[in-house]
Structure 1
Amino acid sequence: MSLFKKANALLQTKAVVTSFMPCLLGLLFAGNYYHSFHLFNSLMIVVSVVAFHLAVNAHNQYKDYERFRGKDSNNNILKNFQITPAQARTTIIGLALFSMVIGLILVYRTGLPVLWMGMLSFAVGYFYSGGPYPISKTPFGELFSGLTMGYNITFLTTYVNMYQLIDIHGLWFKTLIVAIPAIFTISNIMLANNIADRREDPALGRKTIVYYWGKKGGLLLWQVSFVIAYAGILLAVILGYLPVLTLLCLLTIPVVWRNTVRFSKHPKKETTFLYAIINAQLILAATVIGGGLALIF
């Protein structure tokens, strides 16, 4: 088996788009509202975020290996792709340290908020699947994944692009409004995963929100979250945080609704789970493209 296939399986590289989109959202916010942009800082934060996301993906795969040790399972990536635990650990540590070094450079260049948010993100990244009580086994997996990836990344990217400004009053709250579509679409990917795995999860000790709310409750939350994502974009435009052209994302509603119906009818990992990822990327990509056009023209 080629090294490329092994790396792709361990790192789940296709998922990095999920962390890249909040970076673009933060760049859009910084450029539109604060009229500030730093190319070097932007590149550094993107590389750091992607590297850490890959490290977290590998860590999740490593923990799945421990959970399914000696068993034949599609989730046992290390066994299926002949990746040794030592190789996985080396990859995880290397990527995490690389991300950390870049983060510390940004702390030196821009200030302590990067350090505090970075430390929080690292803690969530580890405890999501690690530790005695992994977050992924609790009803709070969606909340932590949405806030960490949707809010933290958007905030960090915004901050490193406007840190030098005197007036940064309300940045935390303003970024929260801008990040609403990222928070809810990213958390919805995790929610869709848990809905699809609702029968297998209890046997693995995972009592997610779907375990408590049931299939119908989980699907209702999943559907409402997309509505909130669109409402967040509208609110950000009304408040002037994002440009009006950002509302081009509303053109994606018919496609998102169709995908939502398809998944709701048959929520399965093998067939319809992909619609959750497509919906998230459609909403965020359309938002960024519309906002980007406004900055250009």
Structure 2
Amino acid sequence: MKVNKFFELVEIKTKLASMIPFFLGTFYALYRYKSFSLANFIVMFISLLTFDMATTAINNYIDHTKAKNNSAENSLTHKYGINQSKVLLIIFILITIAITAGVILTLNTNIIVLLIGIVSFVVGIFYTFGPIPISRMPLGEAFSGFFMGFIILFLSVYVHIYNTNIIIFAYKSNILSISINVIEIIIIFLVSIPAICCIANIMLANNICDVEEDIQNNRFTLPYYIGKPMALKLFKSLYYISYFDILVLVLFKVLPLESLLIFLTFKTVYKNIKLFEKKPVKSENFIVAIKNFVLINASQIIIIGIRAIILH
């Protein structure tokens, strides 16, 4: 299989949706907790990237095998240059690497990472696989936003601060106890809101563009239930929520004052919103959802990263 075809199968360009929360969480751990583990950073990077690629490959495999328009031109062999069995082998290898790295990460940290990893693994598989995949339901935006925007960011923070008692999981004398630093968890969640909203909007933009085709393929996503006009309003609102969240966190000194520089991106983001609202066509304007995601969240990474390095 050619490298470019492999990258097409796993949609390597879309990995920004998992890598940006990962790097944002990493720099936030350094900024707020002044903690960084290179070993855990590398192992989580490998696990996250390979699992993300695996779920995308599964999604493409399912879409091609279940598509009603499954002509020769639309087959896996024609599009990716390999047959179904080899695609399944690639998926198996990617999942194996992801699980192995996840086990190593658990051994380096604690059982909390394993538990969250298992839940994320199950959701990731059923997101694209099963009798009714999550991606074919009106829950896709919520699940993708929460798990990729918050869970990835939280884990990328946690692997550096696992020994600070932010979460304590203990079993002693037949008693299972869990202690959670609620304030810190809430703060991390609030920091992740721009990532949650922007990732949800990538899925929403995709579903808005594909709503007619999805109905033909028995995919009844959120735009099908709420209609395109309401879906477009939601698309716009999620970006506004992201900016409002950043403003609040700066006011409460959770984020550095420099984070207000992110508002310099608002004009471009607003222009992209209007462009998509005017013509929600995938081949022409779906890219604006990716651009807005990168603009807002990459700006956060740069600002928090610089502040973290200065303070560290």
TM-score above 0.5: yes
Q: Show structure 1 runs of 4+ deviating over 6 A.
A: none
Q: Counterpart of 1:215?
A: 228
The residue type paired with residue 305 of structure 2 is: G
| Alpha-carbon distance change, 177 to 130 in structure 1, aligned in 2, over 3 angstroms | same
Partner of 2:249: 236
Structure showing greater radius of gyration is 2
Partners of 2:67 and 2:276 lie apart in 1 by 27
SS at match of 2:285: coil
CA distance in structure 2 between the partners assigned to 1:271 and 1:217 by the alignment: 21
Q: State the partner residue of 2:239.
A: 226
Q: Which range moves more in the overlay, 105-114 or 68-77?
A: 68-77
Assess if the C-alpha contact under 8 Å between 1:10 and 1:77 holds in 2: no
Corresponding residue number in structure 2 for 1:278: 291
Letter in 2 for 1:238: L
2:198–2:239 Cα contact (<8 Å) kept: yes
User: Higher mean Cα deviation, 183-192 or 173-182?
Assistant: 173-182
Distance (Å, rounded) in 2 between the aligned partners of 1:254 and 1:74: 41
- What TM-score do the two structures reach when normalised by structure 1? 0.94
- Letter of the 2:100 counterpart: V
Counterpart of 2:156, as a letter, is T
Distance in 2, Cα, partners of 1:65 & 1:267: 24
SS in 2 for 1:207: coil
**1:136 deviation in Å?**
1.1
- Measure how far apart 1:32 and its partner are: 1.6
In the alignment, which residue of structure 2 is the partner of 1:201? 214
Q: Does 1:150 align with 2:153?
A: no
Q: Which runs of 5+ in 2 are unaligned?
A: 168-180
State the alpha-carbon separation in 1 of the partners of residues 299 and 249 from structure 2: 15
Q: CA deviation at 1:166?
A: 3.9
Q: Is the 8 A contact 1:10 1:78 kept in 2?
A: no
Question: Is the contact between residue 128 and residue 136 of structure 1 (CA under 8 Å) also seen in structure 2?
Answer: yes
The equivalent of 2:29 in structure 1 is: 30
Partners of 2:124 and 2:24 in 1: how far apart? Answer: 21
Distance 2:248 2:260 in 1: 10
Q: How does 1:1-297 map to 2 (within 5 A)?
A: 3-68=2-67, 71-72=70-71, 78-166=77-165, 169-170=181-182, 171-297=184-310
The aligned amino acid for 1:223 is: K
Residues 170-215 of structure 1: CA deviation (Å, up to 9, x unaligned) = 3432221111011110010000000001211111111111001111
Query: How does the TM-score come out when normalised to structure 2?
Result: 0.90
What percentage of aligned pairs have identical amino acids? Answer: 37
Q: Which moved more, 1:242-251 or 1:221-230?
A: 242-251
Name the CA distance, whole Å, in 1 between partners of 2:283 and 2:24: 30
- CA deviations on 1:222-247 (whole Å, 9 max, x unpaired) are 00000111122223333333222222
Count of matched residue positions in the alignment of Structure 1 and Structure 2: 296
How far, CA to CA, are the matches of 2:194 and 2:73 in structure 1?
Answer: 31
Inter-partner Cα distance in structure 2 for 1:82 and 1:70: 19
Distance in 1, Cα, partners of 2:53 & 2:73: 19
Counterpart CA distance in 1 for 2:28 and 2:74 is: 38
User: CA 1:73 to 1:143, structure 2 compared with 1: closer, same or farther past 3 Å?
Assistant: farther
Give the match's secondary structure for 1:197: helix
Q: CA deviation at 1:3?
A: 0.8
Structure 2: which amino acid aligns with 1:14?
K
Is the Cα–Cα contact under 8 Å of residues 32 and 295 in structure 1 kept in the other structure? yes
Alpha-carbon offset, residue 73 of structure 1? 8.8
